[in-house]
Structure 1
Amino acid sequence: MDVYTISDAGIEQHDVAKLAGLLTDPDLLIWVDMRVCADSEASVLSEVFGFHDLAVRDCVQRNHVSKIHAYDDHEFTVVHAPDLGTGGHVHYVELDQFVGPNYVVTVHGPLNPVVQAHVAARETSAVLRRVKEGALRPRSPMELSVAILSALVRHETDLVAQLARESGRLEQLVTDDDRDDDPEALLEELFVVRQELLAVRTMAAHASATYGRMAKLTQLSEADRALVSDIADRFELVCSIAEDQRDFVHGVIEFFQTRTSTHLTIATEKLTATSVRQNNDTRKISAWVAIIAVPTAVTGFFGQNVPYPGFAAHSGFYVSSAVIVVVAAALYVVFRLKKWL
């Protein structure tokens, strides 16, 4: 847990034991940053600040959606920052804030074990560095809170831009007929990008709704209300851009699937036509084989060395020849009627 005071002179870090005394000075801007919220941190929230038990519980436990609780002298919010995982999974990195009359308390919610600790402190570390460098001088708790949220918005915007570049690369692969990429792997990459954009859009939409609600609170000053309304609009812009980009990726997927389906249909039609021709050729061959087999069968029968009517006589030759002609002609007529020939 880090305790800072911010003034025109800069930023100064203090021992946690002095926190209670610092809070009694209404002219100080105090920033308490808790990297984790274990028992000792939770006791500070409850005993030193006197926060509600439900708000403290929300800091200890993971929250899967953004939320806001407005109290008489402070507001409590929960938002999430995206962190890309593997296979399209996006980690929800939780950031809780208490904004009071002269303080801001930032609590980094419980993390998925696969998420590195520095990821949770990405936005607060960026703001702390700017304050130390003199590039940022917040004069009120809400200015400090909005500065942290602005860093979160910038991260989401950069992430959407990164995913837009990736979707553009995949769109080029889809429309390039000369490439020999694995269609299944290409489609899987498109689905991953779409899922990541959906997650970013969801987080931005939740944050926009949360701070849109805060902007309607009557206890806010006009200056604070303007800051909160602005950050809500910025979250809404990220949500809109991510949604539009997701629609683009969805269109690329539909184009890819439609083109693949069309190619498959054409190939199937060609295969069907080839099969029909092969069947016709097979029927013709079978018909001619049957016709040609007639002379063989008749001559084979009459060629037996067994006496029969017409054996070793001219009449037998004439009869066998007539049988060949008649049977072959009959088969030819039958095959023609069946359209085999």
Structure 2
Amino acid sequence: MDVRLILPGGVTTHTADELPALLTREDGIVWVDVATCDPEAATTLGDAFGFHPLALRDAAVRNRVPKVHPYTDHVFVILHAPHSGARGHVHYVELDQFIGPRYLVTIHGPVNPAVPPDVPLRQTRDVLRRIESGRFSPASAFELSYAIVSAISRLQETMVEDVTGEVWRLEQRVTAGHLGNPEQFLEELFQARHGLLAVRTMAALGGAIYGRLAGLPRAVPADAQHLVADVVDQFARVRTVADGEREYLQGVIEFYKARTDTKMTIAAERLAVIAAITLPITALSSVYGMNLIVNDHTQTSHLVAVLVIMAVMSATLLGWARRQGWW
């Protein structure tokens, strides 16, 4: 648990035991960043801030959808950031926030063990570096939260851009006919669609949560309402871009399916032509085969004549199929 007091002149670091005294100060913002909400951390937060036990329980477990719960003196918000995993899987990296009048509590995870431990902390650490370098000086807890949530929306937008680059590469392979292994190519198509769908879902649900928060004026101070509205706009932009790229990818998938279906149709037609061409051979062979080739008494002249007839009939059928445009 990292406890910091953000002052106009910089940031000071403190211990959890100092929280009661820090919360009485009005000259700064108390920021508590918790990597994992274990029972000890939950007890500390409950004693110092008086958070509802249900909210602390939600902060200690994985939540599959975002949430917002307004309380008398603070707001509890759950959001998700994306992280690209193995084989195109998109991990939901959870961030929980308790936003109060002069404090912000951020809680990370729990996350999938496959996610590197530093991934959930990237947004908060980036904001902390900006504050420590003097490039950012939040005037309120909502402004500090806004900076962190904006970093999440930028991460979502970056992931959409990365997946879009993959979609363009796939489209070039489809149009050029360089598909390679069809199963592998289909897997890459579906991985790209999964990535866009996952980010689109995160942005849509995040926008819905902050949209609801914007409709609760008692939960959001007047000087922070424009920040909440801007977060809603950020998530809406990510959702719109993801929707557009998903439709574009769907066009690539349909083009690939049409091209594959056409190839299969052509192959089926050619196989049908081959079957028609070889039908006379099969028929004549079944009639004459056993009579012309019988141990040492093969009738060579008759056999040659039959083979010539077979070749002429097959060639005639092949020429007719070509004139019909079937071959």
TM-score, normalised by the number of residues in structure 1: 0.81
Deviations, residues 23-46 of structure 1 (Å, cap 9, x unaligned): 012332111101111122101221
Aligned to 1:324: none
Q: Does 1:120 align with 2:123?
A: no
Q: How does 1:112-151 map to 2 (within 5 A)?
A: 112-151=112-151
Partners of 1:96 and 1:182 in 2: CA distance: 43
Partners of 1:141 and 1:150 in 2: CA distance: 14
Q: How does 1:1-341 map to 2 (within 5 A)?
A: 1-177=1-177, 179=178, 181-219=180-218, 220-283=220-283, 289=288
Partners of 1:23 and 1:155 in 2: CA distance: 32
Partners of 1:108 and 1:282 in 2: CA distance: 73
Contact 2:7 2:27 survives alignment (8 Å): no
Contact 1:194 1:249 survives alignment (8 Å): yes
Partners of 2:173 and 2:274 in 1: CA distance: 31
Task: Give SS of 2:86's match.
Answer: coil
Partners of 2:184 and 2:281 in 1: CA distance: 41
Deviations, residues 253-296 of structure 1 (Å, cap 9, x unaligned): 12111111111101111110121122135446777x59x98xxx
Contact 1:27 1:102 survives alignment (8 Å): no
TM-score, normalised by the number of residues in structure 2: 0.85
Partners of 1:233 and 1:274 in 2: CA distance: 61
2:78 alignment partner AA:
V
2:103 alignment partner AA:
Y
Deviations, residues 149-201 of structure 1 (Å, cap 9, x unaligned): 01111111111111100111111111112x36112111111111111111111
Aligned to 2:316: none
Deviations, residues 185-218 of structure 1 (Å, cap 9, x unaligned): 1111111111111111111111110001101112
Contact 1:26 1:101 survives alignment (8 Å): no
Partners of 2:179 and 2:236 in 1: CA distance: 40
RMSD: 1.7
Change in 2 beyond 3 A, CA 1:286/1:19: closer
Partners of 1:240 and 1:65 in 2: CA distance: 20
State the structure with more CA Rg: 1
Aligned to 1:331: none
2:213 alignment partner AA:
M
1:122 alignment partner AA:
R
Tell me the matched-pair count: 290
Gap runs ≥5 in structure 1: 294-341
Partners of 2:88 and 2:157 in 1: CA distance: 18
Partners of 1:105 and 1:222 in 2: CA distance: 21
Partners of 1:7 and 1:47 in 2: CA distance: 24
2:206 alignment partner AA:
A
Q: Give how far 1:90 is off.
A: 1.3
Percent of residue pairs identical: 46
Task: Give SS of 1:115's match.
Answer: coil
Partners of 1:180 and 1:87 in 2: CA distance: 18
Task: Give SS of 1:130's match.
Answer: helix
2:50 alignment partner AA:
G
